[in-house]
């Protein structure tokens, strides 16, 4: 149903389920701050629910059929789950797809330098950020360092009580007259987003003694040499846990809602799908925030190749049948949209904006400047989805991101649409999207879970 505020419709049982889902989600956010960490969590959850590694299944030459559950991991940064139904070729698949990468600061390949007895890690920001958001805030460092011999060192510093954190400094207000006259886009420059990581010199060292001390520490504690930054993926993210927000605890403030607030209910719904008639599929991809390119982004052929592997394991190997399977599929591109913000009301067209507490948001199209670059979902498909959502009592709303010509954004929707399948954007309204701490309503998280489950069960 198109809903007004959904909170007032909840009974005790709904509230209990909503709080349980929210608590699980907050733990997911705390443990999954990067695409690699999210992939690990998703695989761990899937295994508990009887999912097997598709690579192992195919290596053994095992046959797949109805009721089989498999997962496929792409370079540790993306993962796809399949629960096989009756007729994968003619029924296609019910696909829900979210991304698990989020905006942040990536450490450069040659990052470490000393300047005036302070040591920094140089960064290049990832995804769309307001650069001034990332100064004077505790940052944690997550990722991997891979040594030439293949040893992989996993890093997570700044999350546990007692861990040190890192930060980018900002110019003090007292002498910031000129800085404050700059436009917001340059008030903090991208090249100035360097993270302070040390200030204590190594005894007996003359030149760059602080850098020498940091390098010694990295060597002693982690076995990392300076050159090892070349083969590392280290991400600086806001340090700390997701929190309930508001006197009424109706909201969640957290890092990476975009798009983990869709990934988590998608995963939860997928785990509850039991022997579906139509094959259900959950995609969790990387690199959406930089345009879905690269081997782990949605534009990679990985998904198609995995579908080929599954069909092959089912004794189906014709191109025609692969095409049919893809074309006959339906997809929810599970991504966030902008929540209406009364403080910036003039940037929205209110009746076509997503409101907190009004449920799952469908966006027929996204894009910018005349819907440019967007998928545009079919009316017939939307009608079918209305029927499913109504049948399962899911509260939903429709929205565009902001007023016409105010800007815009994109998702992975157009990439799946290349196969000729039905695709629509469908996710959660977020306040302060892409800020270090974004906010969502718990009720929208709950309605999304209900909506994704209804779709996966009978899309």
The footprint of Mn ion (CB under 5 A) covers 258-259, 335
| Cβ-contact 396, 430 below 8 angstroms | no
Residue 410 beta carbon to Mn ion: minimum distance, rounded to whole angstroms? 9
Q: Which residue has the tokens 């850098």?
A: 211
Residue 258 beta carbon to Mn ion: minimum distance, rounded to whole angstroms? 4
Eight-class DSSP state of 409? B
Q: What is the CA radius of gyration of the chain?
A: 23
> Residue 250 phi/psi, 5° resolution?
-85, -10
Of 194 and 258, which CB lies nearer to Mn ion in the complex structure? 258
- Rounded Cα–Cα distance for residues 337 and 402 (Å): 9
Residue 304 beta carbon to Mn ion: minimum distance, rounded to whole angstroms? 22
| Cβ-contact 446, 435 below 8 angstroms | no
Residue 41 beta carbon to Mn ion: minimum distance, rounded to whole angstroms? 18
| Cβ-contact 308, 322 below 8 angstroms | yes
Of 208 and 259, which CB lies nearer to Mn ion in the complex structure? 259
| Cβ-contact 417, 326 below 8 angstroms | no
User: Smallest Cα–Cα separation from 198: which of 114, 123, 142, 136?
Assistant: 114
- Rounded Cα–Cα distance for residues 283 and 124 (Å): 27
Of 313 and 333, which CB lies nearer to Mn ion in the complex structure? 333
Of 239 and 338, which CB lies nearer to Mn ion in the complex structure? 338
Residue 38 beta carbon to Mn ion: minimum distance, rounded to whole angstroms? 13
| Cβ-contact 396, 357 below 8 angstroms | no
- Rounded Cα–Cα distance for residues 14 and 449 (Å): 12
Residue 256 beta carbon to Mn ion: minimum distance, rounded to whole angstroms? 10
Residue 51 beta carbon to Mn ion: minimum distance, rounded to whole angstroms? 25
How far, CA to CA in Å, does 269 sit from each of 29, 83, 111, 251?
A: 17, 12, 41, 21
Of 88 and 412, which CB lies nearer to Mn ion in the complex structure? 412
- The SS3 call for residue 338 is strand
Of 211 and 257, which CB lies nearer to Mn ion in the complex structure? 257
Token digits for 434? Answer: 């892409």
| Cβ-contact 234, 106 below 8 angstroms | yes
Of 3 and 33, which CB lies nearer to Mn ion in the complex structure? 33
Residue 371 beta carbon to Mn ion: minimum distance, rounded to whole angstroms? 18
Of 57 and 334, which CB lies nearer to Mn ion in the complex structure? 334
Residue 455 beta carbon to Mn ion: minimum distance, rounded to whole angstroms? 18
Of 134 and 229, which CB lies nearer to Mn ion in the complex structure? 134
| Cβ-contact 262, 334 below 8 angstroms | yes
Of 3 and 434, which CB lies nearer to Mn ion in the complex structure? 434
How far, CA to CA in Å, does 443 sit from each of 6, 258, 263, 452?
A: 7, 17, 16, 14
| Cβ-contact 66, 84 below 8 angstroms | yes
Q: Which residue has the tokens 């049982």?
A: 13
| Cβ-contact 421, 329 below 8 angstroms | yes
Of 235 and 335, which CB lies nearer to Mn ion in the complex structure? 335
- Rounded Cα–Cα distance for residues 67 and 83 (Å): 6
| Cβ-contact 101, 79 below 8 angstroms | no
Residue 335 beta carbon to Mn ion: minimum distance, rounded to whole angstroms? 4
Residue 364 beta carbon to Mn ion: minimum distance, rounded to whole angstroms? 17
Q: Which helix (H) or strand (E) holds 336?
A: none
């Amino acid at each position: 149903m198109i809903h007004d505020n959904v909170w007032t419709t909840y009974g005790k049982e709904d509230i209990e389920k909503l709080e349980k889902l929210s608590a699980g989600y907050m733990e997911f956010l705390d443990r999954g701050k990067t695409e690699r960490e999210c992939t690990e969590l998703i695989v761990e959850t899937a295994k508990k629910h009887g999912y097997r590694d598709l690579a192992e299944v195919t290596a053994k030459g095992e046959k797949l059929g109805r009721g089989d559950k498999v997962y496929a991991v792409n370079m540790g940064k993306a993962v796809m789950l399949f629960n096989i139904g009756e007729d994968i070729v003619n029924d296609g698949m019910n696909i829900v797809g979210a991304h698990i990468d989020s905006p942040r600061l990536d450490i450069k390949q040659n990052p470490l330098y000393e300047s005036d007895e302070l040591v920094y890690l140089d960064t290049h920001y990832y995804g769309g950020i307001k650069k001034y958001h990332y100064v004077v805030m505790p940052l944690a460092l997550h990722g991997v360092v891979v040594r030439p011999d293949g040893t992989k060192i996993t890093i997570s510093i700044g999350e546990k009580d007692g861990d040190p954190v890192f930060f980018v400094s900002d110019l003090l207000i007292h002498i910031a007259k000129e800085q404050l006259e700059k436009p917001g886009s340059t008030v903090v420059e991208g090249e100035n987003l360097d993270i302070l990581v040390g200030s204590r010199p190594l005894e007996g060292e003359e030149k760059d003694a602080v850098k020498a001390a940091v390098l010694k520490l990295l060597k002693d504690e982690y076995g990392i040499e300076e050159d090892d930054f070349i083969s590392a993926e280290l991400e600086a993210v806001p340090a700390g846990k997701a929190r309930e927000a508001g006197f009424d605890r109706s909201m969640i403030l957290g890092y990476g809602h975009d798009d983990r607030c869709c990934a988590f209910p998608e995963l939860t719904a997928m785990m509850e799908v039991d022997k579906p008639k139509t094959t259900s599929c959950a995609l969790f991809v990387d690199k959406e925030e930089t345009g879905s390119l690269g081997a782990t982004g949605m534009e990679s052929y990985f998904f198609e190749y995995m579908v080929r592997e599954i069909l092959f394991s089912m004794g189906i190997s014709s191109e025609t049948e692969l095409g049919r399977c893809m074309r006959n599929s339906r997809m929810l591109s599970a991504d966030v949209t902008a929540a209406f913000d009364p403080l910036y009301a003039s940037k929205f067209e209110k009746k076509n904006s997503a409101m907190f507490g009004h449920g799952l948001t469908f966006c027929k199209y996204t894009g910018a400047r005349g819907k440019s670059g967007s998928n545009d979902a079919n009316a017939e498909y939307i009608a079918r989805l209305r029927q499913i959502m109504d049948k399962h009592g899911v509260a939903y709303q429709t929205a565009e991101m902001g007023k016409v010509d105010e800007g815009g954004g994109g998702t992975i929707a157009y990439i799946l649409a290349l196969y000729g399948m039905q695709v629509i954007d469908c996710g959660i309204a977020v306040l302060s999207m892409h800020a270090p701490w974004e906010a969502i309503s718990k009720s929208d998280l709950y309605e999304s879970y209900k909506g994704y489950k209804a779709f996966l069960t009978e899309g």
